[in-house]
């Protein structure tokens, strides 16, 4: 707890609801008493003005128009070159990763004996693949932060046409690496 009263505690003191050790502190601390007295003076001055009339209905119409005009006058920043260049690549990488995981999990699920399969709804356990370090999670979070909800949905649940398109977009070296990863995963014992 801080040494002096917080703003909320000062309001409680003005209302007379401050209790316990904080009330004892207020009694002993001149700085906090000055703060509470100033707040009481402001509250008294505000209540002494009496009833404040509502503004004219025209005020809200004019206010709304001025806000709309001010926001319309603000220039809309064009997307940065980085977004235009890297965003499609990040979406493709995310989709390729989702496809690779889906393929590996699907092959692993088919390869497991019937009695060893996890119950429906259980989280998949892929040896070594689910251990993601903080740096990797930060990269994934940064990639996802710039994506719309539709793009995230597409990356998380790509359709068959997307999966085929992503696989076709891979370079021969990337295709070879994907095949190697799938074969290594299929060969690894549980």
Enter the pTM of the model: 0.29
**Hey, how many other C-beta atoms are within 10 angstroms of the C-beta on 90?**
19
Is the pLDDT confidence value at 87 over 80? no
Q: Return the pLDDT at 29.
A: 92
Instruction: Kindly tell me if the per-residue pLDDT of 125 is higher than 60.
Output: no
Q: How much is the pLDDT for 38?
A: 92
Question: What pLDDT, in 10s, does the model give residues 40-69?
Answer: 998 888 787 777 778 888 888 888 889 888
pLDDT of 34 above 90: yes
Q: Are 29 and 8 in contact (CB under 8 A)?
A: no
What band does 123 get if pLDDT is binned at 50, 70 and 90? very low
pLDDT interval class at 135 (50, 70, 90): low
DSSP one-letter string for the chain = --SSPPHHHHHHHHHT---HHHHHHHHH-HHHHHHHHHHHHHHHHHHHT-PPPPPPHHHHHHHHHHHHHHHHHSPPPPPPHHHHHHHHHHHHHHHHHHHHHHHHHHHHHHHS-GGGSPPTTPPP--TTTS---HHHHHHHHHHHHTS-HHHHHHHHS--HHHHHHHHHHS-HHHHHHHHHHHHHHHHS--
> If we measure between CA atoms, which residue out of 97, 77, 181 comes closest to residue 139?
97
Residue 128 predicted with pLDDT over 50: no
Which pLDDT does position 148 carry in this prediction? 74
Q: Domain ranges in the chain?
A: 1-47, 81-116+127-187
């Amino acid at each position: 707890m801080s040494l002096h009263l917080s703003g909320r505690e000062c309001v409680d003191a003005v209302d007379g609801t401050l209790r316990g050790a904080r009330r004892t502190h207020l009694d002993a601390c001149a700085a906090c008493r000055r703060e509470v007295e100033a707040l009481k003076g402001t509250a008294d001055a505000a209540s002494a003005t009496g009833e404040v009339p509502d503004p004219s209905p025209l005020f809200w119409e004019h206010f709304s128009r001025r806000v709309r005009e001010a926001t319309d006058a603000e220039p809309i920043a064009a997307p940065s070159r980085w977004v235009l260049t890297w965003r499609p690549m990040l979406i493709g990488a995310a989709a390729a990763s989702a496809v690779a995981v889906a393929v590996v999990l699907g092959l692993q699920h088919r390869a497991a004996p019937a009695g060893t399969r996890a119950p429906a709804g259980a989280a998949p356990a892929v040896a070594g693949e689910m251990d993601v370090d903080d740096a990797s999670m930060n990269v994934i979070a940064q990639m996802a932060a710039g994506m719309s909800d539709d793009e995230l949905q597409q990356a998380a649940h790509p359709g068959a046409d997307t999966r085929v398109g992503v696989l076709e977009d891979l370079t021969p070296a990337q295709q070879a690496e994907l095949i190697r990863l799938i074969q290594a995963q299929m060969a690894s014992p549980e």
